[in-house]
Amino acid sequence: MALKSTIFKAELSVSDMDRPYYGSHTLTIAQHPSENDARMMVRLLAFACEASESLTFTRGLDEPDEPDLWDKTLTGEIAHWVELGQPDEARLRRASSRADRVTVYTYQSASAREWWKGMAGKASKLRNVTIYNVPSEAVEALAGMAQRAMRLSVTIQDAEIWVSDDDHNVQLTLDVLQRAAG
């Protein structure tokens, strides 16, 4: 018998003064049996950082041809592909050709540095790809905030990100490994 996903609910309030974007989202997050709290919370952080009215979680780990999040146009075209982890060159190239924009959030700092050493030259040829690394301390702190029912507030200003709930505050800055051209 296959293990089932664990369901998390999040009320997410986003105040992004850098874009500007302000919105509230009621989210249902299916945590795949192989996904730990840290990865799930990085997925939630990525949602907050890229939030829009049409950004959605995909089937993610259950569907290898889909990213973790995407923003589709009304005609079904992928406007924004958001990936977590350390995609290989073929996956990154495929995402770059299928979507207007691609954003990658790496979150395992030691292995991400090694991945980036091998990927930097290849990724630089993909003009619509932005790659961030979430610092390890922030990943651990975010994982500590994971609860089956969450009420989170995310504020973004001058590239600083504050994530808070009733009991915790996490402040972080994403490491920019590559910024999309233009």
Is the confidence at residue 92, as pLDDT, over 60? Answer: yes
User: How far does the chain reach from its first CA to its final CA, in angstroms?
Assistant: 49
The answer to whether position 63 is within a domain reads yes
Token couple for 170: 């996490």
Is the confidence at residue 1, as pLDDT, over 60? Answer: no
The C-alpha atoms of residue 24 and residue 177 are separated, in whole angstroms, by 29
Please tell me whether the peptide bond between 135 and the residue prior to it is cis, using omega within 30 degrees of 0: no
CATH number at residue 127: 3.10.640.10
Alpha-carbon distance values, 59 to 23, 29, 128, 173 (Å): 23, 10, 23, 28
The answer to whether position 88 is within a domain reads yes
Query: Phi/psi at 9 (nearest 5 deg)?
Result: -120, 135
The answer to whether position 103 is within a domain reads yes
The answer to whether position 79 is within a domain reads yes
Residues 119-171: pLDDT tens digits?
Answer: 999 999 999 999 999 999 999 999 999 999 999 999 999 999 999 999 999 99
Query: β-strands 160-164, 78-84: how paired?
Result: unpaired
The count of other CB atoms within 10 Å of the CB of residue 98 is 14
Contact (Cβ atoms closer than 8 angstroms) between residue 80 and residue 100: yes
HSE-up of residue 121 (Cα within 13 Å, Cβ side): 2
Residues 30-88: pLDDT tens digits?
Answer: 998 888 999 999 999 999 999 999 999 997 656 678 999 999 999 999 999 999 999 99
Contact (Cβ atoms closer than 8 angstroms) between residue 26 and residue 37: no
> How many domains does the chain contain in total?
1
Q: pTM for the full model?
A: 0.94
Q: Residue 156: what residue type?
A: I
The answer to whether position 81 is within a domain reads yes
The mean pLDDT of 109-115, rounded to a whole number, is 89
The answer to whether position 162 is within a domain reads no
Among 94, 34, 28, 33, CA closest to 56:
28
| Parent domain of 73 | 36-146+170-178
The answer to whether position 136 is within a domain reads yes
Angle at 17 between CA 13 and CA 21, to 5 degrees: 55
Query: Phi/psi at 13 (nearest 5 deg)?
Result: -110, 125
Contact (Cβ atoms closer than 8 angstroms) between residue 105 and residue 38: no
The answer to whether position 163 is within a domain reads no
